[in-house]
Amino acid sequence: MDLHLHDTMTRRKRRFEPADPNRITMYVCGPTVYNYAHIGNARPFVVFDVLFRLLRRAYGDDAVRYARNITDIDDRIIAKAQEAREPFTAITERYAAVFREDMAALNVLTPSFEPHATGAIDAMLDLIDLLVANGAAYRAASGVYFSVAADADYGRLSGRAQEDLRAGARVEGEDDKRDPSDFALWKTAKPGEPFWNSPYGQGRPGWHLECSAMIKSALGETIDIHAGGHDLIFPHHENEIAQSETANGAPLARYWLHNGFLTMASEKMSKSLGNIVTVHDLLAAGHRGETLRFALLSAHYRAPLDWTDQLLEQAKASLDRLYGALQRATAAERAEPPAAFLEALSDDLNTPRAVAELFTLATQINASDTAEEKARLAGALRAAGDLIGLLQAEPDAWFKGGADDAEIDALVAQRVAARKAKDFAEADRLRAALDARGVIVMDGPEGSAWRRA
């Protein structure tokens, strides 16, 4: 089945044809680890995880090389470390660990490569050398800069006019740039800031250069797919293109993908606006990772998605319905996902349409007369779920699943013991306590099972 992806560079959907079907390369700009990730930050990692899964299915697990970096040196990290009076590495290690936990909870697969910016400083300096050698970069007291004038096509990804690119490009402390839209490749360290020694003085890399260098070392000069949030188109990806292509003399990426914003009350969720909900807090409040993932996939990745309590409730109810259908079928072998489901995903990752196909399967399971038919359909539902990272739990565990599982297990066991001892008053008291928690107890010959109402 042909995969079509919307390419930001050409502004249209294009059939995906890898340069080499035995080696598909994909890069997603990863998190800057200085704080808890908000649910908007998680959106690109979840939607492009679906793409990763789809590519693995189409070309084979080993053929797909997916790199998602960790930005572990950056102005915001330094500011946070100074404020907390801690080494910057203490901050980045802490939040990189939180990020890994968040991703695991959201059923996001580990990428093939997770390069850290601080592990690729040599590759960054090599790129600067190339750019200085071909006259595209120059040294100033505050750092080394890329000269935007060296790239005749600068601005082609965002489609901005040169005047727009120049407007607002002033950055504090960069007064010695030749042109306001020139951007830093290397920033001279100020007193007290972390630094690396280099031929360009003690300093640290610019953010855009980090990705260009990590892409080149992990995947090569030209990759198939480069992706990230919509806010990265300009200046981040524009600058990655300018420096990589000027240094390497080869296109950086063959397809550019960008996800739309997660919003709250129609405003972009962002740390600077302060309207954020962190993945960490959502999980701590008892929402399951799969519910968050379902909510994120309920809209098309390029469309905006408004984060509301209602969205979460719907996601939970939808998963309950799908797990309910699975529970009514006997455990099934994985089967082929339905063609309509695959078609939806192949059409620029249309997850809302794909999810609708999951409901169709659930309805068919519930309506089918034979156990064989139910099991066959459940196998298809399972396989479809795998492809978008949903329905990864066992139905019984899903309906139990909660922070107080162990307590409920204990109450149920006490009630079984009370009944055995014919202490019916105690058994009734325990049943009432379980009712109050919304737990349904199912008594059977083998003991008692339970699920949440």
Say if strands 253-259 and 64-68 run parallel, antiparallel, or are unpaired: unpaired
Are the beta carbons of 391 and 326 closer than 8 angstroms? yes
69 binds, among Zn ion, ligand AMP, none (CB under 5 to 8 A by kind): none
51 binds, among Zn ion, ligand AMP, none (CB under 5 to 8 A by kind): none
Q: Which of 218, 233, 262, 311 binds ligand AMP (CB under 6 A)?
A: 262
40: contact with ligand AMP by CB under 6 A: yes
Cα separations (Å) of 283 from 95, 167, 307?
Answer: 16, 41, 15
Report the residue count for the chain: 453
32 binds, among ligand AMP, Zn ion, none (CB under 5 to 8 A by kind): ligand AMP
Rounded Cα gap, residues 68 and 51, in angstroms: 13
Say if strands 262-264 and 305-306 run parallel, antiparallel, or are unpaired: parallel
Rounded Cα gap, residues 145 and 143, in angstroms: 6
Rounded Cα gap, residues 267 and 255, in angstroms: 28
Q: Residue 393, SS3?
A: coil
Closer residue to Zn ion (CB): 228 or 389: 228
268: contact with ligand AMP by CB under 6 A: yes
- Residue 97 amino acid letter: A
Number of residues that bind ligand AMP (CB under 6 A): 17
269 binds, among Zn ion, ligand AMP, none (CB under 5 to 8 A by kind): ligand AMP
Closest CB to ligand AMP: residue number: 229
Region from 154-162, 256-264, 294-302, 313-321 binding ligand AMP, contact rule CB under 6 A: 256-264
Closer residue to ligand AMP (CB): 29 or 213: 29
- Residue 134 — left, alpha, or beta (φ > 0 → left; ψ -120 to 50 → alpha)? alpha
The HSE-up count of residue 450 (CA atoms within 13 Å, CB side) is 24
Phi, psi (degrees; rounded to nearest 5) at 304 = -70, 155
Q: State which of positions 220-249 bind ligand AMP (CB under 6 A).
A: 228-229, 231-232
Say if strands 137-140 and 64-68 run parallel, antiparallel, or are unpaired: unpaired
Closer residue to ligand AMP (CB): 143 or 228: 228
Least distance (Å) from Zn ion to the CB of residue 207? 8
Closer residue to Zn ion (CB): 29 or 381: 29
Query: Which segments of 155-253 does DSSP mark as H helices, in order?
Result: 162-166, 207-218, 238-248
Are the beta carbons of 275 and 265 closer than 8 angstroms? yes
Query: Which segments of 106-255 does DSSP mark as H helices, in order?
Result: 121-133, 162-166, 207-218, 238-248
44: contact with ligand AMP by CB under 6 A: yes
31: contact with ligand AMP by CB under 6 A: yes
Least distance (Å) from ligand AMP to the CB of residue 95? 10
31 binds, among ligand AMP, Zn ion, none (CB under 5 to 8 A by kind): ligand AMP
The HSE-up count of residue 271 (CA atoms within 13 Å, CB side) is 10
DSSP string, 323-337: HHHHHHSPP----PP
44 binds, among Zn ion, ligand AMP, none (CB under 5 to 8 A by kind): ligand AMP
262 binds, among Zn ion, ligand AMP, none (CB under 5 to 8 A by kind): ligand AMP
229 binds, among ligand AMP, Zn ion, none (CB under 5 to 8 A by kind): ligand AMP
Name the helix (H) or strand (E) containing 387: helix 371-388
Least distance (Å) from Zn ion to the CB of residue 29? 3
Residues lying near Zn ion in the complex (CB under 5 A): 29, 211
211 binds, among Zn ion, ligand AMP, none (CB under 5 to 8 A by kind): Zn ion
Closer residue to ligand AMP (CB): 32 or 244: 32
389: contact with ligand AMP by CB under 6 A: no
Q: Which of 66, 95, 200, 261 binds ligand AMP (CB under 6 A)?
A: 261
Using CB under 6 A as the criterion, which residues of the chain lie in contact with ligand AMP when the complex forms?
29, 31-32, 40-41, 43-44, 228-229, 231-232, 259, 261-262, 268-270
